[in-house]
Copies of this chain bind each other. A is one copy, B any other.
């Protein structure tokens, strides 16, 4: 268990990418891969790939590289909870429903099992094969279904309240799409995905590119 805790967030992020790349290669019948190839595909460097895989106790052979199927399986058993991880999503608007559709069936060991909303028109409906439940049942559902992960797709002004409710219910990891920093206890792992910032960064650098062209002309 100690190995798990020594592995950094960035390494975990890259392992997640490696296994998707490996799964694509497996589907094409690929048997072996060198660290420099995995580096090219993942946009990293070969020493980094080797360090990441050593961190989970995996090493390849200098002559044949890594075995694709075996490496893929090792990453799975390192990353996945053998009993599976169950998550819920709070906020069944456009974004929430898209996230549910995106993740439906994507990973066998990671499932969103229910949505929550406070809109009476949504409560009781089914979204991507999941029930949409009343926020009033959040706490009991989390306890009964063994939910550990929450996805927040409510507007910014409701996100902190929803985060507090999720934590109070027993959730220990949150994927937050609301464009606001959540203040939660340090034992809760929070990953922010800020779509507006990502889009605005691209818009800024597009404009910046144009300015440099003009300046250089």
- A85 contacts B149, C-beta separation under 8 Å: no
A211 and B98 alpha carbons, distance in the complex (Å): 31
Across the interface, A97 reaches (CB within 8 A) one of B98, B149, B181, namely: B98
Contact of A54 with B by CB under 8 A: no
- How many chain A residues sit at the interface, stated as a range, is 35 or more
Question: Chain B nearest CB: distance from A167 CB in Å?
Answer: 12
- B197 contacts A17, C-beta separation under 8 Å: yes
- A189 contacts B202, C-beta separation under 8 Å: yes
| Most chain B CB neighbours (cut-off 10 Å) among A107, A172, A203 | A203
Contact of A217 with B by CB under 8 A: no
A78 and B174 alpha carbons, distance in the complex (Å): 33
- A203 contacts B156, C-beta separation under 8 Å: no
- B199 contacts A103, C-beta separation under 8 Å: yes
Knowing A102-B195, A181-B41, A181-B43 touch, does A203 contact B94 (C-beta < 8 A)? no
Contact of A130 with B by CB under 8 A: no
A202 and B26 alpha carbons, distance in the complex (Å): 26
Residues from chain B with a CB closer than 8 A to the CB of A79 are 200, 203-204
Question: Chain B nearest CB: distance from A212 CB in Å?
Answer: 7
Residues from chain B with a CB closer than 8 A to the CB of A149 are 202-203, 206
Q: Which of A8-16, A114-122, A135-143 contacts B (4 or more CB under 8 A)?
A: A8-16
Contact of A148 with B by CB under 8 A: yes
10 closest A-B pairs by CB: A98-B98, A43-B181, A173-B206, A189-B205, A94-B101, A173-B202, A16-B200, A16-B197, A85-B203, A81-B207
The contact sample of 25 A-B pairs, CB cut-off 8 A, is A1-B211, A4-B204, A4-B207, A5-B212, A12-B205, A16-B194, A16-B201, A17-B181, A24-B156, A42-B181, A43-B181, A79-B204, A80-B203, A85-B203, A85-B207, A87-B203, A94-B102, A95-B101, A103-B199, A151-B199, A172-B209, A173-B205, A191-B199, A191-B201, A193-B193
